[in-house]
Amino acid sequence: MSPLAITRPNLIFGCGYLGRRVAARWIAAGHPVVALTRSNSSTLAQLGIQPITGDILDPPSLRQFPTAATVLYAVGLDRTAGRSMRDVYVTGLGHVLDTLPACERFIYISSTSVYGQTDGEWVDENSPTEPTEPSGQVVLEAEQLLRSRMPTAIILRFAGIFGPGRLRKQVMTGEPITGDPDRWLNLIHVEDGVDAVLAAEARSEPGQTYNICDDEPLTRRGFYQRLAESLGAPPPRFDPQPEPGAPHRRIRNAKAKAVLGWQPHRLNPGGWLV
């Protein structure tokens, strides 16, 4: 990182479950952090984050961005806001790119839902991206928009994020888990995800794409069994449902490990964290 970049803040769009943890790491390292928020200014300020009030779907509110060293774009869908996924992922991203000053690095959190494979095969960053589900199609459209507008952006395709506060209630109450218990789940613990963002910031070449997931996928059955054991909860119960045509693949993370020097730890033996 250049001496000039040290004086510039890092900027976060989507300062939620992942983004706040990245912000905490940056602040601990002495980097100022600014984040866009619609309504959580006081909460972010208490965390040491400088809030900017605005909405990615309200272009006139997007006029206060500083020139940032690193931009983390981790916007997800708020289902209570009444906006479509395409509005948020594609239209909102376009509004930000229209107004964002130049930055040294733009790290975009995408999803492995862009892969549409259904036969349980292994896929990597060179595999076809032909999603069959509408959500994956929207995510891919957003990636394509970003690549056309900002070719140097770094795209991190995250598997399903788990960690503290997620899934605990369902497991503790013994609520039946709907779906095929033997389908593959591709997962990443939120703290391993933070490590991946920081590794990409430090070591990625511009314009690269990386899969961010654990070394080995688990079946839905295996994941919930391990989660229940870690929480001291009853064994999970399943409500098997057929899922014809649903995504069913195993994601490789070899590129991120080799290029970024990144290694997930939380699903390795002895490393389970909730």
Domains of the chain in sequence order:
3-162+187-216+250-260 (3.40.50.720)
What b/e string do you get for 149-182 counting C-beta neighbours within 10 Å, with b at 16 or more? ebeebbbbbbbebbbeeeeeeebeeeeebebbbe
What's the DSSP call for residue 90? I
Q: Tell me what the mean pLDDT of segment 193-206 comes to.
A: 98
d(CA 197, CA 45): 22
Q: Determine the average pLDDT of the residues in 200-223.
A: 95
Confidence of residue 272 (pLDDT cuts 50, 70, 90): low
- Is residue 29 exposed (0-12), middle (13-18) or buried (19+ Cβ within 10 Å)? exposed
257 CB neighbour count, 10 Å cutoff? 17
- The two tokens of residue 40 are 């959580």
Tokens representing residue 22 in the block: 């990245």
Q: What pLDDT score does 81 carry?
A: 76
First and final CA of the chain: distance in angstroms? 33
- What confidence score (pLDDT) does residue 4 get? 40
Residue 268: the pLDDT is 55
| Cβ–Cβ under 8 Å, residues 63 and 42 | no
Q: What is the percentage of the chain residues whose pLDDT exceeds 90? A: 74
Q: 196: how many CB neighbours lie within 10 A of its CB?
A: 29
- DSSP three-state, residue 219: strand
Give the whole-angstrom CA distance, residue 155 versus residue 205: 11
Cβ contact 35:11 at 8 Å? yes
Query: Of 52, 51, 56, nearest to 74 (Cα)?
Result: 56
Which candidate, 196, 131, 127, 125, places its Cα nearest to that of 161? 196
C-alpha 157 chain-centroid distance:
7
Q: What is the pTM of this model?
A: 0.92
Beta bridge partners of residue 11, listed in sequence order: 34, 71
Angle of helix 134-149 relative to helix 92-99, nearest 10 degrees, comes to 10
Q: What pLDDT, on the 0 to 100 scale, is given for residue 172? A: 82
Q: Give CA–CA dist 38/192, Å, rounded.
A: 27
Mean pLDDT of the chain: 91
Statement: residue 211 has pLDDT above 60: yes
Nearest-10 crossing angle of helices 190-203, 19-28? 60
